[in-house]
Amino acid sequence: MHEKISNHMTTTTIIIFINVNDAPLGPTPLPSLHFKNLTVLHYPQINVSLHTLKLDVLYFGALCSLTSHPFTMFSTAVPIFTLLSLSLLLAPVQGWRPWPASSNITAYALGDSKKYEGSSEFVKLRYHMGPVMSTNITVHTIWYGTWSPSQKKIIREFINSISATSSPHPSVSGWWRTVQLYTDQTGANISRTVKLGEEKNDRFYSHGKSLTRLSIQSVIRSAITASTRPLPINPRSGLYLLLTSHDVYVQDFCTSVCGFHYFTFPSLVGYTLPYAWVGNSAKLCPGYCAYPFALPAMFVPPSPSPNNRKPFKSPNGDVGVDGMISVIAHEMAELATNPLANAWYAGQDPSFPVEIADLCEGIYGTGGGGSYTGQVLDARDGATYNMNGIRRKFLVQWVWSHVLNYCTGPNALDHSSSLNH
């Protein structure tokens, strides 16, 4: 799947990633569209929201400017956008992609990405009366495939950092404080405490090196029914985190998602357990899922770009795993606020909700938006990060605050930072 994208990139076809929901769309599926020199590909396996569609169109604007293509953002994107708005019944996105979110199409048309942290203009994040994870959260990790002790350590220390009170500002626990602002209908907040639970190694790829969304549930079933040291069954406060190593392909990995979350089906697993999957993209698509520690093929310029497009140095010396951290954070924030897909999300369709981290994709600091990460920090060794954890630094995307009505994080430079100390 990723090959398909790269091939088009190397032939310098201009591509819009139109992510069309695979649910019924009306009379016929949308064919690929051709506008003069412009090829519009669509990926029917990808789910989309109106919000995401906008950002894809905006992303196309970025591509145009990177390739110095004669199209202007405005002359092409607007008709396409209009066309799609009219022709599609759009459903929100489920998975995570690194392309930054924005909702001010005008600002982008005018090339303005100076100050962008999401806007409340289009965002209708609502609470749908379902449960949130308000009791102490225990993360049960399944290490699928080949993992080194040092890789496990980075991820464990990130998870432990969420409730650590000792990390210097800006901290991972400061980042989680925005997640804690969400409540259920009884007024109970998301738990402040997130701790590591039991772990399970699936070293021998029990379900092969290519997993589907359903076989992921089988991996979880195997882990909770194992004859030796099964994972505990904890539907109320357990968060099951399946992490696949760099040599494992998962359905939609690299083409539309870097991770996703859902809950297991009792018919398959025996219980309804909130889970997330995140893959190590180091071999398959670092430019997509470990961005900005690696850059997508189309950002690696045939002719050098003036806008210093170099990958950032990763804070823990492992591009794949450092890239996973932000995706793990993304999924955990969404699981906590929407574990059964009936609590906090925007959009009309509960099966493809736009959740609190979807709204802030690609935003890591003040001013973030477009292809700009926002203001982040430089470590002494030149690595880029935006928050401190236990003994380590991490780069983690921001999440949506329904109190502030925009994306925020502990390293925010404006008034919201007081919230995150």
Q: For 248-272, b where at least 16 C-beta lie within 10 A, e where not — what string?
A: bbbbbbbbbbbbbbbbbeeeebebe
Output DSSP code: residue 288: H
Mark the segment that binds ligand NAG (CB under 6 A) among 39-47, 76-84, 177-185, 243-251.
177-185
- H/E element, 196: strand 194-202
Annotate each residue in 97-136 with x if it binds ligand NAG (CB under 6 A) or - if it does not, as one string. -------x-xx--x-x------x-x--------------x
Q: How far is the CB of 136 from ligand NAG (least distance, A)?
A: 4
Among 6, 65, 183, 405, binds ligand NAG (CB under 6 A): 183
Cα–Cα distance for residue pair 94/115, rounded to 1 Å? 26
Any contact of residue 403 with ligand NAG (CB under 6 A)? yes
Taking the complex as a whole, the smallest distance from the CB of residue 415 to ligand NAG amounts, in Å, to: 16
CB proximity list for 343: less than 8 A, separation 6 or greater: 127, 128, 129, 130, 131, 132, 182, 184, 337
DSSP H helices in 252-304:
266-269, 286-289
Q: Tokens 């709204």 map to which residue?
A: 359
Q: Does 12 bind ligand NAG (CB under 6 A)?
A: no
Residue 18: DSSP 8-state: E
* Residues in binding contact with ligand NAG, number by CB under 6 A: 14
Nearer Cβ to ligand NAG (178/384)? 178
User: Tokens standing for 328?
Assistant: 């793990």
Q: Which is nearer to ligand NAG, 121 or 381 (CB)?
A: 121
185 part of the interface to ligand NAG, by CB under 6 A = no
Any contact of residue 89 with ligand NAG (CB under 6 A)? no
- φ, ψ of residue 146 to 5 degrees: the values are -100, 115
The answer to whether 189 contacts ligand NAG (rule: CB under 6 A) is yes
Q: Is 23 in the site for ligand NAG (CB under 6 A)?
A: no
Residues that bind ligand NAG (CB under 6 A): 104, 106-107, 110, 112, 119, 121, 136, 180-181, 183, 189, 193, 403
